[in-house]
Amino acid sequence: MKFLDEANVYIRSGDGGNGCVSFRREKFIPLGGPDGGNGGRGGSVIAECVSGLNTLIDYRYQQHFKAKKGQHGMGSQCAGESADDIVMQLPVGTQIFEEDKETLVADLTKPGQRIVLAEGGKGGLGNMCFKSSTNRAPRESTPGVPGQERWLWLKLKLMSDAGLLGLPNAGKSTFLAAVSRAKPKIADYPFTTLAPQLGVVYIDGREFVLADIPGLIEGAHEGVGLGLKFLGHVERAGILLHLVDGTQEDVAGAYKTIRKELKAYSAQLAKTPELVALNKCDALSEEDIRKKSAALKKASRRKVWAISGVTGQGVKEVLREMMKVIEEKRKEKNACHSERSEESSDPSLRSG
């Protein structure tokens, strides 16, 4: 299945049905009175978050979603039938924006989450609703309310606990394949990864989701290369693993290039906790590992992990460290949810 993380869609809810003007006319009933029914409600357009999807490719080929109109009211006090709603099934992590691409409408982060994007128009009133003691034979009704229409942008940000960063050929795909069952393309030339890849990592009986995105290069925040397009997929990550190719000469420069692009793209993303790893140590001597680790430590001001995705050297230690940070993030998130649940259930905190 082709990966697509952005789509532009047009939605329109259905108009409400018109109310009916009708009078009961039956033999032997001379004073039948008004019996015009109400119109039916138009169909709404609803977004639903579902599991099992990881792309917006369906919305490349179908971009228009128009709900049907409600049925008009009829005589004999018959109300018009309401139209069916249209439900757009979207993958977990989808954000919905207005046409300006900046105004956030909804952020779908949990399966089962639903939001009405365009509400169907209400049905009009029939003349039986206007009957009163002073108006015994009303000849008035109201039309149905028109539906809503709008253009929206769908943007998918994959839900991952951790993300991989690095220059092209830093060994990210090899690392992902080594620690999970994901099967990303691996080759000895740059930009083998053309779309984000997800893998489930198991360590010490626990698990987390790791995302790999195409390699960043200098000028990525200005649209150079592929990385900028997919950086949003690691914005939700609780921790980043920054892989630096140990076989290149200037490891400090490689690290600084990525950090510069991160800061230029998003100040918030640049503040995400980060582990720095010198990769491909299986191809280095002990002396080279020591020198390059020292240079990388000086540039990053962080502990440097010497690892090899091919041989597994130091990989488990890095995964355990990542798992610690991820579990702390999960506890903080659960605590926030518990506080919100308590506040919503406390009668004293509810407004009258």
Domains along the chain with CATH numbers: 1-156 (2.70.210.12), 162-335 (3.40.50.300)
Per-residue pLDDT 10s for the chain (352 aa) are: 456 778 899 999 999 999 999 998 877 777 778 989 999 999 999 999 988 777 888 888 889 999 999 999 998 889 999 999 999 999 888 889 998 888 889 888 888 889 999 999 999 999 988 988 888 888 899 999 999 999 999 988 777 788 888 888 778 888 888 888 766 555 454 444 556 777 788 888 888 888 777 656 555 445 554 445 566 667 777 888 888 888 888 888 888 888 887 788 777 778 888 889 898 888 888 899 899 989 988 988 888 889 888 888 888 998 888 888 888 887 877 776 566 555 555 555 454 4
Q: What pLDDT is attached to residue 71? A: 92
Greatest pairwise CA separation for the chain in angstroms: 109
Secondary structure (3-state) at 262: helix
> CB neighbours of 308 closer than 8 A, spacing ≥ 6?
279, 280, 281, 282, 314, 315
Q: What pLDDT is attached to residue 351? A: 45
Q: What pLDDT is attached to residue 43? A: 94
Q: What pLDDT is attached to residue 220? A: 47
Q: What pLDDT is attached to residue 338? A: 60
Cα–Cα distances in angstroms (integers) from residue 300 to residues 214, 242, 243, 260, in the given order: 22, 10, 12, 12
User: For residue 95, what is the DSSP state?
Assistant: E
Are the C-beta atoms of 231 and 157 separated by less than 8 Å? Answer: no
Q: What pLDDT is attached to residue 195? A: 60
Are the C-beta atoms of 275 and 240 separated by less than 8 Å? Answer: yes
What's the full length of the chain, in residues? 352
Q: What pLDDT is attached to residue 190? A: 47
Q: What pLDDT is attached to residue 123? A: 92
321: number of Cβ within 10 Å: 16
